[in-house]
Structure 1
Amino acid sequence: MSPKQQRGEVTADLLLDAALRVYAAEGERGVTVGAVTKASGVSLGSLYHHFGSIDGLIAALAQRWLGRLLGELAMSLREAHSARGGIDAVVRTYLAFVQEHRDAALLLHSATADRYGMTRGKELRDTQEARLSAFALWLEPHIRSGELAPLPLPLVESLILGPVVAVARRWLSGIGDVDLETAARVLPDRIWRSLSP
């Protein structure tokens, strides 16, 4: 990588990191070009050069953190030796990620991310295909072996991740009626029951 490319990566990282800090402190409405350039120390021109717009910056930020989350989930599945163990690993990994990276999790579970996912779902899925494929590749043999119910993969994914995402959103909302450690203990068995043949 050339020095110019390295500087470009550093600049992009500064903008992404600043955007997350501003988002965490001010919410979606606070993420403006002025706020991000001030927080990052990076010029307006650099923001537009790297991301095209503030929306492009937010989309890149969500992609960055979604990629990290999916990467951690894929790694946890590689270490699981059974379908039940994999479900447990996914639940625990997801909830640990939410707790450890609260600011990024707020963005990933926000109305902003939902709008982006609804309008650009196929594009989003295509950019994360390798990580999503790892999940499907892990599930398929367990379904074929009869360890998991013979349901279409998108339904299996929804039955595994749906409850976890709902708990994460509730915890992130600050209501205070959900404990992630309790959820990590209880959800795997409940999800397992919904997927056992």
Structure 2
Amino acid sequence: METADLLERCYPGRRAELKRDIFRNALRLFNEQGIEATTIEMIRAECDTSVGAIYHHFGNKEGLVAALFFTALDDQAQLRDRYLADADTTQAGIYALVHSYVDWVDHQPEWARFQYHARFAVTKGPFKDELATRNKTRNRQLWEWLSAPERGDELKGVPAELMLSLIIGQADSYCRTWLSGRVKSRPMVYRDMLAEAAWRSISTGETRKQ
């Protein structure tokens, strides 16, 4: 799942070739130079296109940053949904959520690195409302799956607003540490340990004894 594959999945076909090229070069420059230091002119020079073409697709730099960020979120969500579709128990669902998160970061380190750095900019920028709406929809869908009647009382007592932090928090922490170069082992090495830790942090005592 390299960068080119992700872009082909999200923006397939010849008509989207320029958009993919802009995305590819912008992603590299944002990660290498930083979001603030990277200019539209720098991206234009790497793409060998016009400033007008970039503005036509994205409006401005904030629009390009947000488009990259939402592309990463959408691709990550698609992988999560595929993993979750195969889960037939609550525990399997928790494992699916952690595995999908870890696997996506492991296979898409450049996108994940950008995603971490860009989150603050998008949260504080002109696309903050769109991000909030997307997050609400995503969280509602996950909570509906986790709280479905067939799940029983396995997650009883866990506040909804705390659920995602308990499930993804430890995996997120390790992935960030790996992306910063402070640890060497790839996240996939610990995917099962992280999933088990997430399950133990939210399941009831009775469930853990089974």
TM-score by length of 2: 0.79
1:117 maps to which of 120, 123, 135: 123
Distance 2:95 2:69 in 1: 25
Which digits, 9 at most, give the CA deviation of each residue in 1:76-127, with x for residues without a partner?
11111111111112212111111111110001111x3123235655421324
Q: Do the aligned residues in 2 keep the contact of 1:171 with 1:180 (CA within 8 Å)?
A: yes
Letter in 2 for 1:73: R
Distance 1:178 1:125 in 2: 33
Letter in 1 for 2:148: P
1:80 maps to 2:105: no
1:12 maps to which of 16, 19, 23: 19
1:89 maps to which of 92, 96, 115: 96
CA apart distance, 1:30? 4.7
Which digits, 9 at most, give the CA deviation of each residue in 1:6-29, with x for residues without a partner?
877443332222211222333334
Between 1:88-97 and 1:61-70, the stretch displaced more is: 88-97
Alignment of 1:18-167 (within 5 A): 18-110=25-117, 112-117=118-123, 121-127=128-134, 131-141=138-148, 145-167=152-174
Q: Do the aligned residues in 1 keep the contact of 2:89 with 2:151 (CA within 8 Å)?
A: no
Between 1:72-81 and 1:170-179, the stretch displaced more is: 170-179
Instruction: Indicate how the Cα distance of structure 1 residues 118 and 150 shifts in structure 2: closer, same or farther if over 3 A, else same.
Output: farther
Distance 2:198 2:34 in 1: 32
Letter in 2 for 1:95: V
SS in 2 for 1:11: helix
The equivalent of 2:193 in structure 1 is 186
Gaps of at least 5 residues in structure 1 are 1-5
For these two proteins, the number of residue pairs brought into alignment is: 191
Q: Do the aligned residues in 1 keep the contact of 2:99 with 2:191 (CA within 8 Å)?
A: yes
Which structure is higher in RCO with an 8 Å CA cutoff and minimum separation 6?
2
Q: Report % sequence identity.
A: 27
Gaps of at least 5 residues in structure 2 are 1-12, 205-210
The equivalent of 1:170 in structure 2 is 177
SS in 2 for 1:146: coil
Q: Do the aligned residues in 2 keep the contact of 1:14 with 1:42 (CA within 8 Å)?
A: no
Q: Do the aligned residues in 1 keep the contact of 2:22 with 2:47 (CA within 8 Å)?
A: yes
Which digits, 9 at most, give the CA deviation of each residue in 1:171-190, with x for residues without a partner?
11111255413431211121
Q: Do the aligned residues in 2 keep the contact of 1:167 with 1:178 (CA within 8 Å)?
A: no
